């Protein structure tokens, strides 16, 4: 469908899920006083392309329905984590040691609303390709 990494709706949905799962791990480890491996163990931030390609490969046997269930559950878990915090805790830079120079909001936003906006545009592009292919 597309020449890029995410070729179908399942790829896009599972990408969202996996990044939320990483966020949940960062949060869990960071709040426990550890330094989370970010973005993922064995990867640096400059290595997002190979990380995202690995995510896509890992889930090739996952159905769209399974991906949607995973995303729905992770979305609810992340929203519950956000609700645990005050505005001060979310917005104050360096409030939590593990967020380094950022605030907690930055991590939540990057893995929810920012990613959701990307996914909407990506799914719209995929839908256009499908409609064009069908004539």
**63-78 pLDDT, tens per residue?**
999 999 999 999 999 9
State how far the Cα of 48 lies from the Cα of 110, in Å rounded to an integer: 14
**How confident is residue 5, by pLDDT bands cut at 50, 70 and 90?**
confident
Contact status, residue 43 vs residue 98, Cβ threshold 8 Å: no
- Say if residue 129's pLDDT is above 50: yes
Average pLDDT, the chain: 95
Domain count, the chain: 1
Q: Is residue 2 part of a domain?
A: no
Q: How far apart are CA 97 and CA 30, in angstroms?
A: 8
Q: Cα–Cα distances in Å, from 101 out to 91, 93, 106? A: 12, 6, 10
Range of the structural domain that residue 93 is part of = 9-134
Residue 122 located in a structural domain:
yes
- The CATH number given to whatever domain includes residue 97 is 1.20.120.450
Total-model pTM: 0.93
Q: Is residue 99 part of a domain?
A: yes
Is residue 55 left, alpha or beta, with left meaning phi > 0 and alpha meaning psi from -120 to 50? Answer: alpha
pLDDT of amino acid 6: 82
Share of the chain above pLDDT 90, in %: 91
Instruction: Report d(CA 122, CA 86) in Å as an integer.
Output: 33
């Amino acid at each position: 469908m597309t020449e890029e990494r995410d070729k179908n709706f399942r790829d896009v949905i599972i990408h969202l899920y996996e990044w939320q799962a990483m966020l949940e791990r960062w949060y869990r480890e960071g709040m426990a006083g550890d330094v989370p491996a970010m973005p993922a163990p064995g990867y640096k931030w400059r290595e997002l392309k190979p990380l995202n390609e690995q995510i896509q490969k890992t889930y090739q046997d996952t159905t769209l329905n399974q991906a949607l269930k995973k995303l729905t559950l992770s979305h609810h878990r992340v929203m519950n984590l956000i609700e645990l915090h005050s505005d001060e805790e979310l917005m104050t830079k360096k409030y939590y040691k593990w967020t380094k120079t950022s605030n907690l909001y930055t991590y939540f936003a990057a893995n929810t609303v920012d990613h959701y906006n990307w996914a909407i545009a990506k799914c719209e592009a995929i839908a256009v390709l499908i409609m064009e292919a069908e004539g």
